[in-house]
Amino acid sequence: MLKKKTLCLVMIVRNESKVIRRCLDRVKDHIDYWVIVDTGSTDNTPEIIQEVLKSVPGELHREKWINFGVNRTQSLQYAKNKADYLLLCDADEQILFSEQFNTALLEKDKYLISYIGANDYSVPYLIKGDLDWKYVGVTHEYLDCDGTVTQEKITSVNILDLKDGGFKQEKYQRDIALLEEGLQQEPNNSRYKFYLANSYRDIENYEKAAYWYQKRIDDGGWKEEVTCAYENLGNCYEKLARGEAALSTWLKGYDYNPTRLECLYQAIRFLRLQDNVRLGYQLGLAALKIPYPVNDILFIKKSVYEFWIYYEMSICSYYTDDYQLGYDCCKKVLFNQPNSTILKVTLNNLRFYKRKAANDSPENIKKLIDILTEYLKNNQDENAKNTLSFLITLLKNY
């Protein structure tokens, strides 16, 4: 029988009294030890930590704030050898354990845990406790270890980031200052350039964001990060009303990495909004062949793969007389539970394709009937009612 492995929670905190209890309540029953470094709280964060974790052995340390790389490394040094594995977490996150999570099955040096949200990306939050780990970077730091380490994604744990921590209120300006200082010391640090661009984007300074995204693209290197930089650069150009530059950038991004859909999707969306639906349709045919990048870890926009690309093609297909594809794409959107706005538009568009349902399976027709019925409980929509009536009659005569 495999022996269960022990877990040590490792965190750095500062002024997290509003969220720390919620975070710790999620993990306290799963950990055997804890090491938390407070970097200068002026509220009662330390007292809450000690109260919530009073039944679990652990250590609360106080250290002067320097930067994320230094302070997170301090926490790892304190935690070394305190348990078989170290579980990393931020105060405004929640670690969600499924019933399948079993520490006895852990054997790799590092496990990547996926975030739940619009972007699908994974971080190394579960690591062996006896290795010499360190964080590199002043902010948006990354985990490193001397020598070769083994890793894999783990699906029995996820992270929910609620983005409401105390320290994050000043996040963007703080990150900009740290990253600009970091680039003075390391002018060739591509990671700093990427996250500096992100920080400028997040405060809506699109000119500076575009400048740093281009710098990141010029550096080359990690393909996933460069791919994201292409998409984000195009988005900045669109915000700056530089449509041709945006379209060109997205197409270059797709050409650079045809295994990712995001850049191509943005180009299709832009073309459709410019009434270039035939070109958008042709690009969409290529887009529909791109599978979900299951082995990628950085900022995968799940909704683009699940329904946004099908939403665009459900529109473009109508104007190119491809009614079967339009119907199939409407189904893809509706079956993937989109937001209410997209649901309403797609149900309205379904009426143009409803006759294609005659070639569909009874199971799919029934699913469409259920979606329309649920929608009409809270909406007065004559087009949806007519489509529902048509599908009910079709199913009866099947």
135 and 214 share one domain: no
Please give the Cα distance from 47 to 63 (Å, whole number): 16
Task: Give me the CATH number covering residue 96.
Answer: 3.90.550.10
Burial of 152 (0-12, 13-18, 19+ CB in 10 A): exposed
Domain boundary among the residues 321, 341, 365 is at 321
160 and 288 share one domain: no
Domain boundary among the residues 294, 321, 348 is at 321
Domain boundary among the residues 287, 321, 355 is at 321
Task: Give me the CATH number covering residue 296.
Answer: 1.25.40.10
Q: Select from 90, 146, 84, 87 the least CA-distant residue to 111.
A: 87
260 within a domain of the structure (yes/no)? yes
334 within a domain of the structure (yes/no)? no
Q: Helix %, strand %, coil % for the chain, to 5?
A: 55, 15, 30
26 and 88 share one domain: yes
13 and 161 share one domain: yes
17 and 125 share one domain: yes
255 within a domain of the structure (yes/no)? yes
| Ranges of residues in the chain whose predicted pLDDT is under 50 | 168-169
209 within a domain of the structure (yes/no)? yes
155 and 36 share one domain: yes
Q: What pLDDT was estimated at residue 165? A: 60
Provide the token pair at 276. Answer: 């270039």
83 and 52 share one domain: yes
Which residues lie across from 120 on neighbouring strands? 300
367 within a domain of the structure (yes/no)? no
362 within a domain of the structure (yes/no)? no
Q: What pLDDT was estimated at residue 170? A: 72
45 and 153 share one domain: yes
Q: What is the DSSP string of 124-184?
A: EEEEETTS-EEEESSSS-EEEESS---EEEEEEEEEEE----GGGGGHHHHHHHHHHHHHH
| Residue 308 belongs to domain spanning | 188-321
Please give the Cα distance from 142 to 207 (Å, whole number): 27
Radius of gyration of the chain (CA): 25
Count of structural domains, the chain? 2
Q: What pLDDT was estimated at residue 279? A: 98
Give residues with Cβ within 8 angstroms of 326, minimum separation 6.
313, 314, 315, 317, 318, 349, 352, 353, 356
CA atoms within 13 A on the CB side of 5: 23
Q: What pLDDT was estimated at residue 166? A: 52
136 and 215 share one domain: no
Burial of 101 (0-12, 13-18, 19+ CB in 10 A): middle
Q: What are phi and psi of 281, to 5 degrees?
A: -65, -45
33 and 158 share one domain: yes
368 within a domain of the structure (yes/no)? no
357 within a domain of the structure (yes/no)? no
Q: What are phi and psi of 171, to 5 degrees?
A: -55, -50
Q: Select from 260, 166, 163, 257 the least CA-distant residue to 202.
A: 163
Please give the Cα distance from 172 to 158 (Å, whole number): 25
Q: What is the DSSP string of 8-50?
A: EEEEEESS-TTTHHHHHHHHTTT-SEEEEEES--SSSHHHHHH
201 and 282 share one domain: yes
Which residues lie across from 363 on neighbouring strands? none
* Cα end-to-end distance, the chain, whole Å: 55
112 and 150 share one domain: yes
